[in-house]
Amino acid sequence: MSRTQGVTPKTEEQKRRSERVLLSIPIEVRGTNAAGQPFVEKTHTLVINRHGARIALKTPLQPEARVTIVNRQSAMSCPFRVVGRTGKSLGGGPEWGVECLEPDVNFWGINFPEKAKAPSDQEEVDALVECAACRFRELAQLTLEEYRSIISEGSVRRDCPECGGMTEWKFGFVDEGEPEEAVPVQPSTAAPAAPLPPGAERRRAKRLTIKLPVRIRLQDGSEEVARTENLSKTGVCFISSLMISPQDRLFLTVGYTLGSSEDEIAARLVWRREIEGGGKALYGVRLEESREE
Model confidence pLDDT, tens digit, residues 116-172: 665 545 678 999 999 999 999 999 999 888 998 998 999 999 999 899 999 999 999
pLDDT value at residue 235: 93
pLDDT value at residue 9: 39
Q: How many CA atoms, within 13 angstroms, populate the side-chain half-sphere of residue 52?
A: 16
pLDDT value at residue 204: 57
Question: Where in the chain are the domains?
Answer: 24-100, 109-174, 176-287
**In Å, how far are 47, 93, 226 from 90, measured between CA atoms?**
16, 7, 24
**In Å, how far are 13, 44, 85, 282 from 17, measured between CA atoms?**
10, 23, 20, 20
Q: With cut-offs at 50, 70 and 90, classify the pLDDT of residue 207.
A: confident
Architecture of the domain whose range is 176-287: Beta Barrel (2.40)
Q: What is the pLDDT of residues 68-87, one digit of tens each?
A: 999 999 999 999 999 998 87
Q: What is the mean pLDDT of residues 193-213?
A: 59
254 neighbors 228 (Cβ within 8 angstroms): yes
Q: What is the pLDDT of residues 6-24, one digit of tens each?
A: 444 344 444 445 678 888 8
CATH number of 24-100: 2.40.10.220
Q: Do 24-100 and 176-287 have matching folds?
A: yes
Q: How many Å apart are CA 95 and CA 52, to the nearest integer?
A: 13
* Secondary structure (DSSP) of the chain: -PPPS--PPP-GGGGSSS-EEE---EEEEEEE-TTS-EEEEEEEEEEEETTEEEEE--S---TT-EEEEEETTTTEEEEEEEEEEEEE-TTS-EEEEEEES-TTS-TTSSB-PPPP---TT--EEEEEEEETTT--EEEEEEEHHHHHHHHHHS-EEEEETTTTEEEEEEEPEE-S-S-TT-EEPPTTTSPPPPPPPTT-TTPPPPEE-EE-EEEEEETTS-EEEEEEEEE-SSEEEEEESS---TT-EEEEEET--TT--PPPEEEEEEEEEEETTTTEEEEEEEESS----
Instruction: Quote the pTM value.
Output: 0.72
Average pLDDT, the chain: 80
**Of residues 290 and 13, more confidently modeled:** 290
pLDDT value at residue 291: 60
Q: With cut-offs at 50, 70 and 90, classify the pLDDT of residue 115.
A: low
Q: With cut-offs at 50, 70 and 90, classify the pLDDT of residue 289.
A: confident
Question: Does pLDDT of 239 surpass 60?
Answer: yes
pLDDT value at residue 121: 57
